[in-house]
Structure 1
Amino acid sequence: MPVTLLGASEIRSLAADLDVTPTKKLGQNFVVDANTVRKIVQVARVVEGDRVVEVGPGLGSLTLAILERGASVTAVEIDHRLAERLPATARAHGVPDGALTVVDADALRVTALPGDPTVLVANLPYNVSVPVLLHFLETFPQLQRGVVMVQAEVGERLAAPPGSKVYGAPSVKAAWYGRWRLAGTVSRQVFWPVPNVDSVLVAFERNADARGTEEERRSTFRIVDAAFQQRRKMLRQALSASLGDSASASAVLEAAGVAPTARGEELSVEDFLRIARVL
């Protein structure tokens, strides 16, 4: 029996049955268009045998599209009602036993994933998309690639290169782990309820080798946060509080081969790592 997908009317019926009203607090906007979830799975290059983790499966529309490809899914869902119902929905749509594992938990607190997934595919809640992404990349080094649907503004930041107007701390931290690119736009009309923001797909591939040690990552991220808290200031000023004073900051920056008069938005993740290593 082939896996079948959810339609818009069935999604609304499921929600009514569970007494689920999509909430802004949980960032819930359910995708009700089968073509859109298939597009996400296609962009993510999901193939038979892949082990996929999905964050926030909701009622299961994207989940079923991943399972339709013959992949296995570990789905992390914070809403207990949705987590409890998802296996029954999967069975009713032809998903074979063992292909879906549901983790009833807050994605920001998950530290272990059954099935050892290597691919991340998710329609991420808008309010926690960056923290969830960074948590998963830090906690699960086996994740090699993925595609996430996020608010357009967030996606543009994640994929932004140094010097871009939207380049910021999320851009640098994401780049620590790998390469990011915008991979498509998504119409507001495919969601229920219809959000008041645009959405994009962002694809990533993890670096083949670790960029640095865990201690270096933490140190680099602290410097990144300090640099972008006062992004209009030169680095010697933006980092003066954390490095003692402006003169000390200038000395560290020069030793790292970075101009003290540069601003955070001009630096690549490699530049920030060099500063961390000087420290």
Structure 2
Amino acid sequence: MTSSDSSTSAGPRLLGPAEVRSLAAALGVRPTKQRGQNFVIDPNTVRRIVKAAALTAGETVLEVGPGLGSLTLALLAAGHPVTAVEIDPVLASALPSTIATYAPDQAADFTVVEADAMTVGPEQIGSPTACVANLPYNVAVPVLLHLLEVSPSLRHGLVMVQSEVADRLAAPPGSRTYGVPSAKAAWYAEVRRAGPVGRNVFWPAPNVDSGLVAFERREPPATSASREEVFAVIEAAFSQRRKTVRSALARWMPDRARLDEVFRVTGIDPGLRGEMLGITEFAAIASAGRDQSPA
């Protein structure tokens, strides 16, 4: 068995430390903090991620930040067509050749899109049903929220992010780490922690711990307010964490009489802090605030 994990059976070979460094050297690539790049060098880790994603047979997967192709190859090995979004032009241009070399029989199931995942749209990525990715750590939350918004076909996924970010995304109301990312993610999906990832599986090894986050899409709460209006309430509620939700929402609705009416209509205690409210309560406040707006 080699570090590339090749075997006598047909199918893709996965990338080990030697292959990752060799590919990077050939491309003149060094991982950059600016783009949150840390390449996975352990075949067992990418296998674990694919297994934990609980994909259905042949399910089309959206991958963001494929880098040199470590996770991509594991997804293809499991029989999943992959559409990969890569912002780095050097990495994006090299991926088809890497797939052709390490997974020649699956090359037709791979598509790379050179684009910024923060702005990519369905016209570029099609209609994938799952997202499995090692997200760039510096933009993980906005990328995930953007993808959930612009790609309604995404019904579930598993992403690797910084451990603290994983805690925030999966945090329930009332917990210490619950905040804006938690509430906004809850608009789209049920989110949970799906396990830790060690530092030594990356090159270079990051200075932070990593974690897996699983999500399952659900319908947003019933509300007459738009997503943007609900998110505005969330942002206002957490703008001053130590204050009551009534005080924190004063900028959102400066008219105190109307704001008090919002709490009366919704039955939400204005003395609570924003961190105690779930997405259903935020949606209710936004809806009541909309009804209270002057004609």
TM-score range, shorter chain: over 0.9
Q: Offset of 1:48 from its aligned partner?
A: 3.2
Matched, 1:221 2:237: no
**Residue in 1 that maps onto 2:246:** 236
Alignment of 1:191-206 (within 5 A): 191-206=202-217
Match of residue 4 from structure 1: 13
1:72-151 equivalent positions in 2, closer than 5 A: 72-95=81-104, 96-112=106-122, 113-151=124-162
Aligned equivalent of 2:188: 177
Once superposed, which parts of structure 1, at least 4 consecutive aligned residues long, lie more than 4 Å away?
Answer: 212-215
User: What SS does the aligned partner of 2:287 have?
Assistant: helix
Alignment match, 2:293: none
Q: Which amino acid aligns with 2:100?
A: R
Q: For each residue in 1:95-144, what CA deviation from the matched residue of structure 2 results, as whole angstroms up to 9, or x when unmatched?
A: 42420000000000101244421000000111000000000001101100
* Matched residue SS, 2:268: coil
Unaligned runs of 5+ in 1: none
Determine the structure 1 residue equivalent to 2:286: 276
CA drift at 1:237: 0.7
Other-structure match for 2:5:
none
Match in the other structure for 2:197 = 186
Q: Which moved more, 1:112-121 or 1:22-31?
A: 112-121
Distance 1:136 1:215, change over 3 A: farther
Distance apart, 1:245 and its partner CA: 4.0
Distance (whole Å) between structure 1 residues aligned to residue 285 and residue 137 of structure 2: 32
Residue 212 of structure 1: how far off its partner (Å):
4.4
Cα distance in structure 2, aligned partners of 1:120 and 1:43: 12
User: Aligned-pair distance for 1:214?
Assistant: 9.2
| AA matched with 1:104 | E
Separation in 1 of the partners of 2:39 and 2:256? Answer: 49
Please name the residue that 2:265 is paired with.
255
- The residue type equivalent to 1:26 in the other structure is R
CA contact (8 A) 1:119 1:144 kept: yes
Tell me the distance in 1 between the aligned counterparts of 2:220 and 2:262: 24
Question: Normalising by structure 2, what TM-score?
Answer: 0.91
Distance 1:135 1:266 in 2: 25
Tell me how far 1:249 sits from its aligned partner.
Answer: 2.3
Q: Percent identity?
A: 55
Aligned length: 278
| Distance in structure 2 (CA, Å) of the matches to 1:47 and 1:32 | 26
Paired residue secondary structure (2:82): strand
